Amino acid sequence: MALSSLRREDRPAAGSGVVARQAIRAGSHRGATAGLAPGYVQGNLAILPNALAADFLQFCRLNPKPCPLIGTSAPGDWRVPELGADLDIRTDLPRYRVWKNGELVAEPEDVREFWRGDLVSFVIGCSFSFEEALMAEGIEVRHIVRGCNVPMYRTTIATQQAGPFHGPMVVSMRPFTPRDAIRAVQITTRFPSVHGAPVHIGKPELIGIEDIGKPDYGDAVEVRHDELPVFWACGVTPQSVIATVKPEFCITHYPGSMLVTDRKNTEFAIM
């Protein structure tokens, strides 16, 4: 049904998750999703063959801080109704990455031609949700102010293994003054299903980060003399872990091109 055929009061609100997905599906929005549909949850995507689904589900259950699962599909089904009634996981992200045996084989704008009857979709919460809550409280998030990607680091913190899935936790880092760091612990504690409270604060060397100025993913940001680096479990962890497993087939979102859902960030606050 075309939007124009809906009565006005039935049309989705401008700026909503569904309108963002429609624009992406129609090809009128391309590229990064940061800033799209403010207030709506965005998610990391991993699509795996059903043969790996049970192990990956278990991995997420055992590692809820880096892998907060917010939606899954039935095998072969491209819908994820818990995240959006009209959602089609094959078309609703701006760009994807397709992997075969651990090799990147394509970066298409939709994956209908790659679809298989045994694929299961996993949508994992993302830090956009808690960053919105931090900024709503007046806390400056450096990489957002700078307009770059959050710096991310592989750590010596091990994840809990499930089947073939294991490997180090990846963390994202945001620098804050001690006062804001304490406030950030409080605010992000309210969002356990989108990474929750930090996993580390100060002293990067204790988690195996040798040079805070050289992130393994994303961009470096300055940590000022009156600031502490604060580290959160990062949704890049499952992608990093999947990469080491080299599944015969898998699809992930292209970095920065997330799934925009119909769930509100505020729904994920526990208080």
Go through 48-57 and write b for each residue having 16 or more CB atoms within 10 A of its CB, e for each that does not: bbeebbebbb
Q: Kindly tell me which of 1 and 271 has the beta carbon lying closer to a copy of itself.
A: 271
Min dist CB 228 to a copy of itself, Å, is 5
Site residues for a copy of itself, 51-70, by CB under 8 A, read none
Instruction: Say whether residue 224 binds a copy of itself (CB under 8 A).
Output: no
- Provide the token pair at 201: 């604060």
Min dist CB 243 to a copy of itself, Å, is 27
> Which amino acid makes up residue 50?
N
Min dist CB 230 to a copy of itself, Å, is 9
DSSP string across 98-157: EEETTEEEE--S--GGG--TTEEEEEEE-THHHHHHHHHTT---HHHHHTSPPPEEEEEE
Instruction: Say whether residue 135 binds a copy of itself (CB under 8 A).
Output: no
Site residues for a copy of itself, 189-208, by CB under 8 A, read 189, 197-203, 206
**Smallest Cα–Cα separation from 188: which of 69, 68, 71, 269?**
269
The alpha carbon dihedral of 244, 65, 179, 206 has a sign of negative
Strand stretches in 177-269, DSSP E: 200-201, 228-233, 250-253, 259-264
Question: Site mask, a copy of itself, residues 144-183, x = CB under 8 A?
Answer: ----------------------------------xx-xx-
Using the rule CB under 8 A, which residue among 34, 185, 220, 243 binds a copy of itself?
Answer: 185
Rounded CA-CA distance 19/36 in Å is 10
Q: Kindly tell me which of 231 and 268 has the beta carbon lying closer to a copy of itself.
A: 231
Instruction: Say whether residue 271 binds a copy of itself (CB under 8 A).
Output: yes
Instruction: Say whether residue 223 binds a copy of itself (CB under 8 A).
Output: no
Tell me which residues touch a copy of itself (CB under 8 A).
178-179, 181-182, 185-186, 189, 197-203, 206, 226, 228, 271
